Structure 1
Amino acid sequence: MSVTKEQTNVEAQAIAAKKAAKKVSLLSTEEKNEALHVLADHLEQKFQYILDENEKDLQVGRDKGYEEAYMDRLSLSKERITDFADGLRQVATLEDPTGKTISNWTLENGLLVEKVTVPLGVIGMIYEARPNVTVDATGLALKSGNAIVLKGGSSALSSNKAIVQVMHEALGNTKIPKDAVQFIASTDREATQQLFTMKEHIDVLIPRGGGSLISAVVNNATVPVLETGVGNCHLYIDVEADVEKALNILVNAKTDRPAVCNALETAIIHKEWLEKNSEKLIQTLKEHGITVHGDETALKYIPNSVLANEEDWANEYLSLDLAVKTVNNVEEAIDHIEAYGTKHSEAIVTENKDTAKLFMSLVDASALYHNASTRFTDGGALGFGAEIGISTQKLHARGPMGLPALTTVKFLMSGNGQIR
């Protein structure tokens, strides 16, 4: 098979990133922090240029009839760009994760052993219609001493190119080389897939987006993958749930930003609680424009509901649609989550501590909540600064991935001529 020009360019970009990564790894914390502030200031100053380019993507989206949730993820505003910048400044305040001595000891022969944290090297980031990822991922990569190769979705091409151009201009005034941030502007599928197999240049791949994108990367990559997951998130309302807490949490988790991965998709409700509190629930759902896809029991208590099918239990709606499953006890709720959950974020509302403990112990997910909204599964909300993704796997990193997830370790041995 012949090699296209785009594929050649991708390899050249990866090689440049690898060389730049060595330089970034040698920078001091102060130099990296200064660079992040320069990036933040420049993004704010150039906001109108970024918005003009973003409008090109939005117009394409309108012409192609993209769904509202997708357009929300794609859309930028001056306020969102300010949030990007503030996220970079917050990352600058966080502790540098590299160069930390995790442990050290001396062997009987006098050999000193140190286990220290170091950057991963070059991070390949593959994502869809979220221009904010371009900034968030870059900030985290640079602060943790890494270089990054970005491959955003074609639907955000103009937005991402503009953001990277602005960041490159800013990096010209810092100690970080421009080559540490690479953006693959090609829409060639084969060029994109080339990232999957460049083990000699890319140290880790992080896919962030829908299920099909993540599956494609996980199933085809020979480069190690830090797997992020789709968010089919559940809220179990127990028979001993406080009504006000349950409704407030449901509304926040479902409606605050329906198109994000930590939004609620399925409410599992104890039948007795539903029977007692159906009127308040109905009023709440109506006030917030939530459409229910419920089982037969739910349909008896919630008028204007749609009968749910098997697809609804697994669906990540990313909208104001909500699946409602009724159960007789917490064990049935746990079983439902086990069958349909994506190991992202799961919540229980109950005043019974034993029930909460059972739920938190048996449900397999990266983030679990008792009497709180799933919307807190976010690097910024949990104090990590911007996040590079939410890992639903169990090796290396799990949950919102902040700076520590972008490091690995080295063993450093110092001796005085010891041999074995």
Structure 2
Amino acid sequence: MEPFKNLINAGTVQRAGQHLQRVWPAFDRQGFEHRATHGLDTLEFKARAMQLAEALQATLPTDFGDAASLLEASLAPPIPLDAQGEPAGLSAAQSELGLSGWVVWSMGEFVARQGMGDVARALQCLHALTQRFSAEFAIRPFIQQHPETSLATIRTWVDDPSAHVRRLVSEGSRPRLPWGLRLQALVADPAPTLPLLLALQDDPSAYVRRSVANHLNDIAKDHPDLVAQWVREHLPAASPQRSALLRHASRSLVKQGHAPTLTAWGLEHGLKGDAVLTLTATEARVGGDIGLALRLRSRSRQPQTLVIDYVVHHVRANGSTSPKVFKGWKTELDAHGEHTLSKRHSLRPVTTRTLYPGPHRIEIQVNGKVCAGADFELLP
């Protein structure tokens, strides 16, 4: 499998040089490409993007307005969207017309580094860049250092005809965006972004709505009761699209068993009945998987709506355990009915979690309440 970092490569640099020289014949293409490709193969993904940004700093005009105009002129047409408002990808013909894709990450970084003295012009440039990749990383230093100006500007973007721009309103202002600068002021007080999320939660684009859900999920990490209240207010009479957004926004709180959120979803009651979890083996190996079979039996005279997650208590390097909640099932259990659910859980290591051999426990959590469990030994 091709390493992810190779999405930024020598060809990326050459295309950038080609299109920048196309719009500015005096551009030092040779110097740019030499700086951008120096030792490129030895660098990891983000370091490659930052080196390309540094090459832009060294070779674009020192006047930021002139540099921003050149960047905008070098761009391809906006990335098209499908019927659901999702990015449809780039065709070969579009890539020949200008720059788009991962190289725009570096262009946004250039704007963040060089445009702080002219915030209005910088945000205008990011408005263009985000339609060819995303400016979610680049806009964050502006929100941090110039919050009033930046938020006032993006407030005008909630009605922008481009779904890319509307998504940037939500994604760029997320308090805890992965890979992005943490916006500590918004972590402490998310109130400035709530009107933006309200304006976008019924956006016609699924691309935008998913960002709103992730933004609310970010807020839930520090202000869980606020998000529970949001669900209570906006779930009644919600469209299927809004209901899906609210469910995604409150996913972490449901997994945590946050009582106000469970109540907002009508999940305040645990299982009225019995649950038995059976594993397919008492031992499993790192790199393999293990099967879960859950048998439910109702003791209620009413149907029950159940959101079922499972918690794996992983062994840590020091011998202690750490719980990780995984998505399980959502099901309806008939009155006095029985239901069996099954799935396989992967034990392959991932970049965010190292698996250590030792005794592991899996617990079943129904509507936020643990009701069954089983143990297995993880072998090297």
Please state which band the TM-score falls in when normalised by the shorter chain: under 0.3
Comparing both chains, which one has the higher relative contact order based on Cα–Cα distances under 8 Å and sequence gaps of 6 or more?
A: 1
